[in-house]
Amino acid sequence: MTDNRFEDLFAEADAAFNGKYKNELNELMGLSQTEIKALSPETTDLSTYNKLIKIVEHASKVNMSQADLITNIKSLGTLAIKIAKKVPTLANLF
């Protein structure tokens, strides 16, 4: 019996990277740790950045509306908004 969980994971990743917000996702993932830490020098925790990536991945995969994406990003707080604003097309949403 073949285990299809890896195939399912790859299919999910493909859906996110080929979805509505694929360019934004790629730009977010291209940010360096230095760029992210410069936005919040008092913390070295990248958990907000990682959560933001997950939100944009999900939004891309399900073709979420911009309004819902904005709401989800705002729910992460001001640091997530600052990070999102490093991506020009996301910055235009705020």
pLDDT of residue 51: 94
Both structure tokens of 21: 């917000």
Residue 44, pLDDT score: 64
> Does the CA dihedral 94-32-34-58 come out positive or negative?
positive
User: Domain-by-domain residue ranges, the chain?
Assistant: 5-91
How large is the angle between the packed helices 5-17 and 22-29, nearest 10 degrees?
A: 100
pLDDT at 1: 44
CA distance 36 to 59: 21
| pLDDT recorded at residue 91 | 93
Please provide the DSSP assignment of 41-81 as one string. Answer: TT----HHHHHHHHHHHHHHHTT--HHHHHHHHHHT-HHHH
pLDDT tens across the length of the chain (94 residues): 446 776 666 566 666 556 788 889 889 999 998 888 888 877 767 889 999 999 999 998 888 899 999 999 999 999 999 999 999 999 998 8
Q: What is the pLDDT of residue 30?
A: 92
pTM of the model: 0.75
Say how far apart CA 68 and CA 35 lie, in whole Å: 26
